[in-house]
Amino acid sequence: MPILRVLSLICHEQEDNTGHDDAYIRINGSDFWGPKPIHEGQPRVINKDYLFNRRAKIGLYESDDWDPDDFLGEQMITKANVGQGEIELPFKEDDANYTIYVEVLADNKKSADAIIALNRK
């Protein structure tokens, strides 16, 4: 099984007009990272792995307290991306502009338990 390594997130343009965004990532419909505050121009190091079968659907959202969360975009990664090095994924919905940097690795015989433990950190 391939490993999706989510390296970092950078905010080029916030969705919210005031304060900061509260960005979070979902992979295949499950919460993966965040929400974490982020300002325009700010990078966030993530360095978190996700084990997947054939594909991983990555969604970026901005958490809101008083209305529904904002959908900032979605990208698909597949096992065909193994070994391509760092990949830039743009997210530009709802007047925001973010980039998530990922890498797709071969399993390297890591156990599923090790990946699950890493994701719980």
What percent of the chain clears pLDDT 70, i.e. is strictly above it? Answer: 88
Which of the four pLDDT bands, split at 50, 70 and 90, describes residue 120?
A: low
Instruction: Tell me the CA distances in angstroms from 69 to 18, 61, 76, one per residue in order.
Output: 16, 7, 21
Least Cα distance to 8 among 76, 55, 60, 73 occurs for 60
Residues 16-34: what's their mean pLDDT?
A: 93
Give CA–CA dist 116/69, Å, rounded.
27
Write down the pTM of the prediction: 0.86
Per the DSSP assignment, residues forming a β-bridge with 12 are none
Residues 97-106: what's their mean pLDDT?
A: 96
Give CA–CA dist 72/95, Å, rounded.
8
pLDDT of residue 16: 79
Which of the four pLDDT bands, split at 50, 70 and 90, describes residue 26?
A: very high
Helix ranges restricted to H, 1-121: 112-119
Least Cα distance to 76 among 98, 102, 110 occurs for 102
Mean pLDDT computed over every residue of the chain: 90
Domains of the chain and any CATH numbers: 3-119 (2.60.40.150)
Residues 106-121: what's their mean pLDDT?
A: 60
Residues 75-101: what's their mean pLDDT?
A: 96
Is 116 a residue whose pLDDT tops 60? no
Instruction: Tell me the CA distances in angstroms from 53 to 26, 36, 39, 76, 106, one per residue in order.
Output: 16, 27, 34, 13, 11
Give CA–CA dist 48/63, Å, rounded.
20
pLDDT digits (tens, 9 = 90+) for 29-67: 999 999 999 999 999 999 999 999 999 999 999 998 888
pLDDT of residue 119: 63
